[in-house]
Amino acid sequence: MKKAVLFLSLVVFFSLKAKSQTAEEIINRYIHNVGGQTWNELDAVKMKATLRQNGMNRQLTIYQTKDGKQAVIAKIDGKNVTQLAFDGINLWQTDIATQKPKKLSPEENRIFMESFQDFPSPFFKYKEKGYAVKNLGTVTKDGIETFKVSLRQPAIYVDGEETTTVSYYYFEKQNFMPIVIEIIKANRPDIISLGDFREVEGFYFPYSISQNLYPISIKEILINPEIDPKVFQFVDPDEDKKESK
């Protein structure tokens, strides 16, 4: 009988311990498991990936840097096409019709700048950025027991209206890895699924990503590679015309 009582006590203890996990404890476990303080040594990554879209495979090269610069370049009909890039000031892409660089709208640029320094994760030094986190309890997601944690970024004003980005992360209880992210930005939902985490030079990255049902398969990840700054830089296509006048 004493053994039975002891067993029940342990069950209750671990159950209460799981429920009492704070958002900060969950985040700290996650950061520790994917690289810990070595994240301070991560200056940039370069990823080679395949995007499955409309029944076709599209080859992607993805760049991200510590200072917020990003670029996603697709190989289309043998040509490199910048699908999205940010040089620290300008958010831009290659115009499909003209094949020239084109800035995105000021609203899109401002919304993007809200989180452009979230590399390698918005949870890294989240307090310094003024982000608020909360443990919303245990949730079953895609058949897996998870901790649901909300992350709220400071409000910004876009076209005179207050806009807040709130993300919901579902951390698998066994290894504290996020398997689903739901992002609500400017009232637009974005759902990202993550899986197949692998170690690369002491860091752990998901090699399987699905964003809004479009699967992305990571083929290679390079840590702190040399990156040509021109990859990010917006060049005004009308500048030559201005100089020639």
Number of domains in the chain: 1
CA gap 116, 64 in Å, rounded: 10
What CATH code is carried by the domain that includes residue 132?
A: 2.50.20.10
- pLDDT for 10-52, tens place per residue? 444 344 444 568 999 999 999 999 988 788 889 999 999 999 8
Residue 71 covered by a domain: yes
Residue 145 covered by a domain: yes
Supply the range of the domain harboring residue 77. Answer: 23-235
- The size of the chain, in residues, is 245
Residue 27 covered by a domain: yes
Distances (CA, A) of 127 to 27, 124, 130, 152, 244: 12, 8, 5, 11, 50
pTM for this entry: 0.83
Element holding 244 (H helix, E strand):
helix 239-244
Residue 5 covered by a domain: no
Residue 17 covered by a domain: no
- pLDDT for 166-180, tens place per residue? 999 999 999 999 999
Cβ within 8 Å of residue 141, ≥6 positions away: 148, 170, 179, 180
204 forms bridges with which residues in the sheet?
199
Four-residue CA torsion sign, 224, 154, 108, 242: negative
